Structure 1
Amino acid sequence: MKRFLMIFPAVLYGISVLSVAQASTEEPVKRRSMHVCVSMNADGLERKATPHLESITTYSNKYGVNAAMVKAVIAVESCYNSTAVSPKGAQGLMQLIPATAARFGVSDAFNSNQNINGGTRYLSWLMKRYDGDLYKAIAAYNAGEGAVDKYQGIPPYNETQHYVRRVLTVYNRLSGETVALPALAAGASGGRSSKSGGRVSSVFLSPFGTGKPGRAGLNTNRARAPHLYKR
């Protein structure tokens, strides 16, 4: 009995150490798995997207966002894992936090169709809010509009700086375009924000399907349907 009482605490200690070690490595493993898609070629990415292609096509057309951009965001956010949950509580394919899901009409963020609907609608809203500035829209998807507004561009957060570059890398691979990757800000954890414009009009499609390109077209569309362009 005495021997048992001496061994039992040691066993408990070993279990607790193992649990801590597992918890400490869980997040890096999750991060690595989500970044697998970033290194895939276009064919591999398209295969990943195939089970969700109908939803991606439907909502990219509905909200005027290039389908390649929706695929790129999903690839970087979750690598097409519909059950993914981040440490901050973001859920599903496009990693919607509960507040954003509710804001864009998603009742079940683990339902892939609903998740793609809400995430694509949010991307569209961000593109309108930032007048087609792709860098700002992608950065806001990751860090929130408040951070982008504060720094008037991509926030100098290491995560967001790399997030924008990853999304654009995958987008270029899928679309065949050559959108310039923003330079990393000096001292990404607290340095200056990027002032790059990053405007790519081809990514955001007019909800009307017609109209003049550039600023003139934006003003024309805003005049025709001002409710779509409220900030």
Structure 2
Amino acid sequence: MISVVILISGRGSNMASLLAAVDAGTLPVRIAAVLANRPDAGGLETAAARGVPTGVVDHRQFASREDFDTAMAAAIDAFAPELVVLAGFMRILGEAFVRHYDGRLINIHPSLLPTFPGLHTHRRALSEGVRIHGCTVHFVTPDLDHGPIIVQAAVPVLDGDDEDTLAARVLAHEHQVYALAVRWFAEGRLRVHAGRVVLDSPQSKCGALIAPQTFAG
């Protein structure tokens, strides 16, 4: 069973969904720790209530991004994880940090990458008038919101949607596909070939799997 460290910045809803999957027996990993860059991150209390070790590396206490990255890496490495999971971690990580965890650092982003990287993805999707939106789990590279795609989930953009309704529909799928991606990693079924994720299974030999919602009507 692999060891996982989760990084958060806020309430950690994706973190909570991973913990719930572990408790349910559908995610065969050990959550070694939940670490945050903010002492007021609500997810710390959630993790502690489940008996998961928690810690804070407050980015405001460091003079540079590099110093923060070094301290955060030291906090992570104290738990010797095989996988580091970004779950609403709202700090841009430097190249040295990302390279240190190459191939074992994953993130979830609330859009169908490569569209809408960065912030305010739901607002931008509505502004552009797209009819399909979603989320992406990917390996992290030094480029922001970029890297080999593990799995995506698509949802329809409905007439009358606003940022809140669209975000809620996407978030429900985030909770499903993040646990799925972590499970595939834990099972040793993910590999990267020529910049693409390959899922080793009898049924599929391609990465960037789409898990679309069934559209009614």
Asked if Structure 1 and Structure 2 have the same fold, meaning a TM-score greater than 0.5 normalized by the shorter chain, the answer is: no
Question: TM-score, with normalisation over the residues of structure 2?
Answer: 0.25
Q: Which has the higher strand share?
A: 2
Larger Rg: 1
Which has more helix, going by share of residues?
1
Length-normalised TM-score, structure 1: 0.24
